Amino acid sequence: MHRQLMKGNEAIIRSAILAGCRAFYGYPITPASEIAEAAAIYMPEAGGVFLQAESEVAAINMIYGAAAAGERAMTASSGPGISLMQEGVSYMAGAELPCVIVDITRAGPGLGNIASEQGDYHQVVKGGGHGNYRTLVLAPHSVQEMADLTALAFELADRYRNPVVVMADGFIGQMMEPVEFPTTATSPRIPKWAVAGTEESRGNLISSIHLEPDKQEAHERQLEAKYTIAQRREARAEEWWTDTADIVLVGYGIAARILKAVAAEARAEGLRVGVLRPITLFPFPAEHFRRAAAHAQVFLVVEMSNGQLLEDVRLALNGARPAEFLNRMGGNVPSHAEVLESVHSLAQQIPPAEERQGLVAHV
């Protein structure tokens, strides 16, 4: 095992290149710029392309071109830049082009500030561009996951021919932790559908146009079918003690790290507390929530946004259990103390186990 201390933002590029990515087009923005800076060093060394584009709009369209030509391609940005890229993301979903987009989130709306927030949830998870499409979204909570989920993102992007977003907050991007990489690099073949300037690919067309309403509808239904399969196969979550939890803490990214610390302390106090951490935000791990709801009494959603994750948790629970809410915004992080206080408060409201024998059957 060869573990190295590394920033999340630096781990991403190494993992991407090991996964066969040879095209990075981006535009600087704090707190994602280190990803472009690492790409500027390593992409040419690995025989790939790095280019700083004139805007995020241009960058995502360069990704469109590289992906259309059959290359594993990626970009990285933060909220304001992701907003500008949404046109291109919609086109890529429509044209069924794979790519990986890294969003190192910051506080908003507008210029906001460069501190960590999770307010990009809606624009990324719900598909911030126009039309009927989704992006697959992975939410790392450690430097090791920055590497692992970036590699997974390329696999999923190719499998579903769809953009995949790796959404991390600035903490996960900036912090250093031990990380281990695969010892071998992979080199995917040029896909059969790509337009690669060759005789074999001459008959190929990359486009998102279907003039006839029936054909457009068929196309959109086929996209929807892909998302349904992804929902069935790709939903991922990490569960800490949820099988024996009365209170399930829910969060992703840096918030999930705090929840783990709180849960450990609460368990030490004898409280039945668990953590359910969505790893995929789309597809949302709804099944994990339904399972946990079978015995948990209450869910506490902790996020650094205005209830955007809460909405999906409530949809997943579908009224089976209450979902309480604790959030901080503007670049503030929910503190260990305030989460623990909420846990204590909820614990007092939960009837003792012997009094609620009859309740579980309703779920």
Partner 1 sequence: MSEETEYEIALSRPKAFYSAFERKEELQHQTHYCPGCGHGIVHKMLAQAIDSLEIQNRTVLISPVGCSVFAYYYFDVGNIQAAHGRASAVATAVKRTRPDSIVISYQGDGDLAAIGSAEILHAANRGENITVIFVNNTIYSMTGGQVAPTTLLGQVSTTTPKGRQAGNEGYPLHVSELLATLQAPVYIERVGLGDNRQIAQAARAVRRAVENQARGLGFSFVEILSPCPTIWKMSPVEAQHWVRDVMEKTFPLGVLRDLIAQAEPRPVPRPAPSLDEIPRILGVAPPAPAASAERSSPKPASPLDLQVRVAGFGGQGVLLLGEMLAEAGLDAGLEVSWLPSYGPEMRSGTSNCHVRLAQEPVDSPLVAHPDVLVAMNEPSLIKFAATVRRGGWIVYNGEAVPAECPAEGVHILARPFTHIADELGDARAANMLMLGALLEIAGSLPQASVDAALMRLVKSPRWLELDERAMTRGRELFQEAFEGVRR
CB of 41 to partner 1, least distance (A): 10
# residues near partner 1 by CB under 8 A: 86
In the list 12, 17, 223, 279, the residue contacting partner 1 (rule: CB under 8 A) is: 17
Pick the closest to residue 81 from 111, 51, 38 (CA basis): 111
CB of 316 to partner 1, least distance (A): 24
x/- contact string, 280-319, with partner 1 (CB under 8 A)? Answer: ----------------------------------------
CA dihedral sign of residues 163, 313, 301, 262: negative
192 forms part of the interface with partner 1 (CB under 8 A):
no
The Cβ-side half-sphere exposure at 240, using a 13 Å CA radius, reads: 25
In the list 65, 80, 307, 322, the residue contacting partner 1 (rule: CB under 8 A) is: 65
213 forms part of the interface with partner 1 (CB under 8 A):
no
Sites for partner 1 among residues 154-173 (CB under 8 A): 170-171
CB of 298 to partner 1, least distance (A): 22
For residues 328 and 190, what is the distance between their CA atoms, to the nearest angstrom?
Answer: 45
In the list 29, 32, 36, 63, the residue contacting partner 1 (rule: CB under 8 A) is: 63
320 forms part of the interface with partner 1 (CB under 8 A):
no
226 forms part of the interface with partner 1 (CB under 8 A):
no
x/- contact string, 112-151, with partner 1 (CB under 8 A)? Answer: -xxxx-----------------------------------
Encode burial over 269-308: b for 16+ CB neighbours within 10 A, e otherwise: eebbbbbbbbbbbbbbbbebbebbbebbbbbbbbbbbeeb
Cβ partners under 8 Å of residue 324, min gap 6 = 298, 299, 300, 301, 342, 346
CB 247 within 8 A of CB 298: yes
328 forms part of the interface with partner 1 (CB under 8 A):
no
88 forms part of the interface with partner 1 (CB under 8 A):
yes
Joined together, the tokens standing for residue 258 give 């705090």
CB of 339 to partner 1, least distance (A): 10
Q: Pick between residue 70 and residue 283 the one whose CB is nearest to partner 1.
A: 70
SS3 138: strand
69 forms part of the interface with partner 1 (CB under 8 A):
yes
The letter for the amino acid at 221 is R
Cβ partners under 8 Å of residue 280, min gap 6 = 136, 137, 138, 139, 234, 235, 236, 237
Sites for partner 1 among residues 172-191 (CB under 8 A): 174-178, 181, 183-187
84 forms part of the interface with partner 1 (CB under 8 A):
no
Q: Pick between residue 157 and residue 316 the one whose CB is nearest to partner 1.
A: 157
Sites for partner 1 among residues 247-276 (CB under 8 A): 254, 257-258, 260-261, 264
In the list 199, 268, 270, 354, the residue contacting partner 1 (rule: CB under 8 A) is: 199
Instruction: Please state whether beta strands 298-303 and 247-250 pair in parallel, antiparallel, or not at all (unpaired).
Output: parallel
Alpha-carbon torsion, ordered 120, 314, 148, 19, to 10 deg: -70
Pick the closest to residue 67 from 21, 19, 104 (CA basis): 21
